[in-house]
Amino acid sequence: MTHHHLGPLAVVTGAGSGIGRAVARLMLAEGYRVVLAGRREAPLLETGAGHARALTVPCDVTRPDDVERLFAATLERWGRVDVLFNNAGVFGPTASADEISVADWEATLAVNLTGSLLCAAAAVRAMKAQSPQGGRIINNGSIAAHSPRPRSVAYAVTKHAITGLTKSIDLDGRSFGISCGQIDIGNAATELMDAIGVGAGALQPDGSRRTEPTFPVEDAARAVVLMAGMPASANVGSLVVTAAGMPFLGRG
C-alpha cells in the first residue's frame, strides 16, 4: 500500500496539551499525517479539530499494551512511521533526594523515561520493518537535562537520562536509517510552566523567587518541526531553545 502522495507520518505523544498539542497542530498545518496520543481522548480530539490527517489514539505511555496498540493503530491506518515526537512527560514532585517518596520517584520515571523507551522501541521496530526503511525520533528533553531547577530531583534525573536514550537510539539506528535527536526547551509558555510557577515566580538556587521570561509554545513547536523536516541525510542531534534572557546560562 503506497501513500507517497501524502505527507510524512508523525506520532506525537502528550498531544493533548502544551508542546505536544502545538507540534501536532503545526505538523497538520504543514501537511503531515499525525497520530495524536495521550491519556485522555477529549483533549486529543480538540488538538486534531476533526482534521482528516489526524488520528486520535488514547494511550498511557507507561503501559506496554497501550503503546503496542498505539503503533498497531498507526500502521493499520497508514502503514509506516516517519517521525516519533517522544513528548509525554510530567514534572513530578517538588522534592530533593532526601524528601522524595519512592512512589513519586517511580511514577515520574515511569512516564518520562520508561514511557519514552517504550514508544521509541515500538517506533524503531516499525522503522526497521518498513519500506523504505528508516525514520526519525525526536525526544523532548528540557534544559533540566543540562541544569536542574531546585528541588526537582526526579525530573532532572529523567531528563538527563533522556540524553543517554537519545544517543543510544541514534547510534543503534545508524545501519537502519534511523536518526534520533533531542530538543531541550526552556520556559515555553505551557500548563507545565504554570505548575513550576515560572510566571508567578520560580524558585531560584539562592532561595529567592523570580518571574522568569517565557516564549510562545508555537515557537517551540517550530523548532521541533524544523528537526522533523530535515532530510534523511542530516540529523539535528541536540537543539536548545529558551525564552530570551531566562536564568539558565551563567550563575542564574
Show which residues are catalytic.
155
State the CB neighbour count (10 A cutoff) for residue 175: 8
**Residues in contact with 192: Cβ distance below 8 Å, sequence separation at least 6, in sequence order:** 18, 89, 91
Cα 158 → chain centroid: 13
**Residues in contact with 172: Cβ distance below 8 Å, sequence separation at least 6, in sequence order:** 124, 178
96: buried, middle or exposed (CB in 10 Å: 19+, 13-18, 0-12)? exposed
Measured torsion, CA atoms of residues 240, 11, 19, 204, in degrees rounded to the nearest 10: -50
Instruction: Give me the residue label for grid cell 504543514.
Output: 30
8 Å CB contact between 209 and 201? yes
